[in-house]
Structure 1
Amino acid sequence: MKRIGLISDTHGKLSKRVVRFLEEVDEIWHAGDIGSEELADKLMELKPLRAVYGNIDGHVLRRMYPENLRFFCEEVDVLMTHIGGYPGRYEPRIRKAMYANPPQLFISGHSHILKVVHDKKINTLHINPGAAGNSGFHNVCTAVRFKIDGKNISDLEVLEFERTKF
């Protein structure tokens, strides 16, 4: 069993609230727009990190992390990318992979909007953790925690706080 902490769109800043939220996880997954190598290093000091780069990430982060990351956690097939769209409206560059070989768990960021949706058509759980950072149009900072045990994804928890209280 693994406890996963999922964040996105930190844009180089991470509040103490999010750091405390991530203390109880086994791995941190970042769905892009990390914002700085320093923040990536800080996350790696906390827990093992899996990440993809986002549209604001510069050339150094793009060399450190891929655009798409497909892997297994326990027995769950995971596909993570920054700009991925939503069920029924996947981004064209990811759509073919989604329908040809659907993952059990699809993670994307970019929208700054927390969303958890089951795509019944391909039996995929989609999670967008929203924005954990302090830059962007969002008014609420969010992060997600959940458990993966074998093939099961469970115990999803959400951290949510006003951006003004960053």
Structure 2
Amino acid sequence: MRRIGVISDTHNLLRPEASAFLRGCDQIIHGGDICEQRILDELAAIAPLTVVRGNNDMGAWARDIPETALFDLHGVRFYAIHNLAELPIDPVAAGVRVVVSGHSHRPLAQECDGVLYVNPGSAGPRRFKLPISAAELLLDGGAITPRIVELVAR
């Protein structure tokens, strides 16, 4: 079994609860709005990291971060993008099994037409009354089990 950590919208804040949750992951995917290179350095010290740029990721440090990423992990095809509303591909036609996004700060794990859409919510500063959260994907053969975890009690 493989454990993939999913985090987004850290907005320059990597909480100790988020770091603790991600320890032991085989891979981490960040869905954008990182806001500072230091966050990526801290995450990369925990596990290999795949990251996409969010609308708040500006400056020289973010220039080389892609807006989208299509990649395979442990036999599963993933697509990552910050804002799901800007999805430029048909995931089913592209053979994508999991789409990771961020932007809305609203956690979501929902399957549609055989594609699992995962938004871990925001792990950074609280926005409105939305939870502070992250997600994990457990890959076991062909099975993918998502779990969204609230990191900080309201």
TM over 0.5: yes
Preserved contact between residue 67 and residue 82 of structure 1 (Cα < 8 Å): yes
* 1:44-79 alpha-carbon deviations (Å, 9 max, x no partner): 112111100100001334323210000011111100
Moved more, 62-71 or 124-133: 62-71
Where 1:50 maps in the other structure, the secondary structure is strand
Match of 1:149 in 2: 140
Task: State how 1:62-81 maps to structure 2 within 5 Å.
Answer: 62-81=62-81
Higher helix share: 1
Q: Does 1:21 align with 2:21?
A: yes
Identity of aligned residues (%): 33
2:59 paired with 1:59: yes
Instruction: Name structure 1 gaps, 5 residues minimum.
Output: 86-90
Query: Can you give the 5+ residue segments of structure 2 that lack an aligned partner in the other structure?
Result: none
Q: TM-score by structure 2 length? A: 0.89
Matches within 5 A, 1:3-152: 3-85=3-85, 91=86, 94-98=87-91, 100-120=93-113, 123-134=114-125, 136-152=127-143
Matched, 1:158 2:144: no
Q: Name the count of aligned residue pairs.
A: 154
How far is the alpha carbon of 1:137 from its aligned partner?
A: 3.3
The secondary structure found in structure 1 opposite 2:91 is: helix
- Are 2:3 and 2:139, in contact at CA under 8 Å, matched by a contact in 1? yes
Residues 157, 116 of structure 1: alpha-carbon distance in 2 compared, 3 angstrom cutoff: closer
Q: Is the 8 A contact 1:10 1:135 kept in 2?
A: no
